Chains A and B, each alone.
Chain A
Amino acid sequence: DAGVIQSPRHEVTEMGQEVTLRCKPISGHNSLFWYRQTMMRGLELLIYFNNNVPIDDSGMPEDRFSAKMPNASFSTLKIQPSEPRDSAVYFCASSPRLAGVPYEQYFGPGTRLTVT
């Protein structure tokens, strides 16, 4: 299995631009998670989906952030407009279990976002 795939691996953009991060979870997994990691705040859960349905988006920092999962093999995280404080590494993870039972997660390699 190829594992969780994320693209792009690196993104540099200017403040005010729209940014879209993409994720392909492991085939057959039932839940998908988006995280943000910074030195100051560590790893923070932004949103998660069970069977393609958003369950909890309470970690999404602002309305500028949105996430979709149109099917079982694809998800996007969009930031519009982007700001310098959004600079971080964004991880996508998937789990064979539904979030709601103890669930181990399998993380992608991350997208390093820099907003200038």
Chain B
Amino acid sequence: EDQVTQSPEALRLQEGESSSLNCSYTVSGLRGLFWYRQDPGKGPEFLFTLYSAGEEKEKERLKATLTKKESFLHITAPKPEDSATYLCAVQARNNDMRFGAGTRLTVKP
């Protein structure tokens, strides 16, 4: 069965303290891996799509990378406004879309 596991569940950082979030997956034929950001009381906001191992995408302080078994979301010098829940999702060959439980990030000033 397809599975997506995100770690850690929660992460507290000081402003400027860089770190990484992990998304481990098992899926029958990966079509795409997606990262979303979700603020409290809002819908998830699309960040990145990664298609194949070795691919990287960047946006401002965020960089997403992909291997055959996991993806990392690296946050460089985070700011308080980066506080949110970050969700990872994988699309399998059969087009099933499965979301992880998310990592709740808090960045303290």
Contact = CB atoms under 8 A, between A and B. Distances in A.
Interface of A: 4, 33, 42-45, 56, 91, 93, 99-110
B43 A104 contact: no
Interface string B27-54: 0000110101000011111100101000
Contacts, number: 48
B22 to A, nearest CB: 16
Contact of A93 (B43, B91, B98): B43
A29 B81 CA distance: 29
A102 B42 contact: no
15 contacts: A42-B99, A42-B100, A42-B102, A43-B89, A91-B43, A93-B43, A93-B44, A99-B97, A102-B32, A104-B49, A107-B44, A107-B45, A109-B41, A110-B41, A110-B43
Contact of A102 (B44, B51, B101): B51
Interface residues of B, number: 23
A56 B89 CA distance: 18
Contacts of A108: 43
Interface of B: 31-32, 34, 36, 41-46, 49, 51, 87, 89, 91, 95-102
B31 A102 contact: yes
Nearest to B45: A107
A110 B42 contact: yes
A101 B31 contact: yes
A30 B80 CA distance: 36
A9 to B, nearest CB: 10
A105 B32 CA distance: 12
Contacts of A103: 32, 91
Given A4-B43, A42-B100, 8 more contacts: A42-B99, A43-B44, A104-B46, A106-B46, A107-B44, A109-B41, A109-B42, A110-B42
